[in-house]
Amino acid sequence: MQNNVSEFRKKFGYSQDKLAEKLGVSRQTIISIEKGKYNPSLPLAMVMARLFHAKLEDVFILEEDDFK
């Protein structure tokens, strides 16, 4: 799954530390999500989208390979 977390984070002026603090996760979690090494839980993804005033599918992009 790809994501636009980094783009949204920068648009809102959040550092990785600040976003992690707002979401109650570690900075390493944010780094891993942004690099595509970790897919967040559905509740965390929904909270992130809400924080960015965006639709879930605008923040996280499901690809065909994700269905295999």
Which pLDDT score, from 0 to 100, does residue 68 have? 65
Which pLDDT score, from 0 to 100, does residue 7 have? 98
Residue from 51, 57, 54 nearest 3 by CA: 57
Indicate the average pLDDT of the chain. 95
Ordered by where they begin, the domains of the chain are 2-67 (1.10.260.40)
Which of the residues in the chain have pLDDT under 50? none
Which pLDDT score, from 0 to 100, does residue 17 have? 98
**For 1-68, where are the E strands, in sequence order?**
2-3, 60-61
Phi–psi pair at 40, nearest 5 degrees: -70, 160
